[in-house]
Amino acid sequence: MTPLQNDRLLRAIAGEPVDATPVWMMRQAGRYLPEYRRVREQAGSFMALCQDDSLACEVTLQPLERFDLDAAILFSDILTIPDAMDLGLHFVTGEGPRFRKTVTTAEDVAALPELDAERDLGYVMNAVSTIRRELNGRVPLIGFAGSPWTLATYMVEGGSSKDFRGIKRLMMESPEVLHGLLGKLADAVTDYLNAQIRAGAQVVQIFDTWGGALSPQAYRAFSLDYMQRIIDGLIRENDGRQVPVIVFTKNGGQWLETMAGCGADCLGLDWTTHIGEARQRVGDRVALQGNLDPSTLYAPDDVIRSEVERILGEYGTGSGHVFNLGHGVHLDVDPDKAKVMVDAVHEFSAR
């Protein structure tokens, strides 16, 4: 086991003292970096890039060469699981991911194959082990998966949606069918994240991107309960260290008290939630991650620095904070602006 040279992230999530607030960015490896775009062109397609462990490793490490980040996050996609279920994932320019087959009936759910992550998604584990080796203890590696609810939205709708009419109709007309789908996905996500942990992921995050589209009652029944089921089934210690779990529900700030009881070690916040108020609401039950509005990175440098200082001040003193954006880096952001943010986090928090 290679000792970690920088364990700020793990210490902050555990509530242990840190010399500065750790920082990483969702989508920190991606289209806003010109070096990423060159590798993506070399690979030929997004999925080809994900499936090539050496190229996936290269783009995972690219932002660490530019910025003083406290974590690397596996370069992959939340839709790897439904892709492995033979739904015909493809990407349409200007529309994003689409599936050739949808899941809308009990027969469709029954026809979905039972996944074995190491067999069916072995390219992801190859990428994790390659990245971990190349990091050589520099910073922790974060693995991830989409939440069952979020994956189901794509599988039922056939792609992205603005109103989630298809899956909400299924939820109202045939809740037992949707629960069947979510249960199958929860088992697949549990197996997938455990395989990532065995391959070398030191932290895992569940992206519940579309949980905030639900009512409070439906959120508990169709999203949070399944994430809790996943967390209950995860490997929580590996390589002699605890493996923390981060749950990020976009637009879920109104449910923080309930989310804090799901077994996660850290809750991600989008930019619509005041982080100081969130800390008061959850106390020391969980760490908090976030939550700069990604659009702030379009602003002048002094505004970025001011906003970083504001969020750090709103969180207050003490550990338990992982600085991040409130969602992913926008594709047309100047990378130099991201550096301003990262450097400001360390500068202001170290005081």
> What string of pLDDT tens digits covers the 351 residues of the chain?
688 999 999 999 999 999 999 999 999 999 999 999 999 999 999 999 999 999 999 999 999 999 999 999 999 999 999 999 999 988 877 778 999 999 999 999 999 999 999 999 999 999 999 999 999 999 999 999 999 999 999 999 998 888 999 999 999 999 999 999 999 999 999 999 999 999 999 999 999 999 999 999 999 999 999 999 999 999 999 999 999 999 999 999 999 999 999 999 999 999 999 999 999 999 999 999 999 999 999 999 999 999 999 999 999 999 999 999 999 999 999 999 999 999 999 999 998
Q: Specify if 3 maps to a domain.
A: no
Query: Rounded distance, CA 307 to CA 309, Å?
Result: 5
Q: Which residues, 6+ apart, have CB-to-CB distance to 239 below 8 Å? A: 1, 202
Query: Rounded distance, CA 290 to CA 209, Å?
Result: 15
Question: Domain range for residue 313?
Answer: 8-349
Q: Specify if 1 maps to a domain.
A: no
Amino acid in the structure at residue 129: S
pLDDT of amino acid 351: 85
Q: Specify if 2 maps to a domain.
A: no
Q: Specify if 270 maps to a domain.
A: yes
Catalytic center residues: 27, 31, 40, 77, 154
Give me the CATH number covering residue 328. Answer: 3.20.20.210
Question: Residue 172 has which token pair?
Answer: 């109202």
pLDDT of amino acid 2: 80
Question: Could you tell me which of 105, 103, 141 has the C-alpha nearest to residue 6?
Answer: 141
Q: Specify if 93 maps to a domain.
A: yes
Please report, in range form, the residues annotated as the binding site for substrate. 27-31, 77, 154, 209, 327
Specify which residues 241 forms β-bridges with: 238
Query: Rounded distance, CA 103 to CA 107, Å?
Result: 9
pLDDT of amino acid 213: 96
Please count the structural domains in the chain. Answer: 1
Q: Specify if 345 maps to a domain.
A: yes
pLDDT of amino acid 1: 62
Asked whether 247 and 262 are in contact (CB, 8 A), the reply is yes
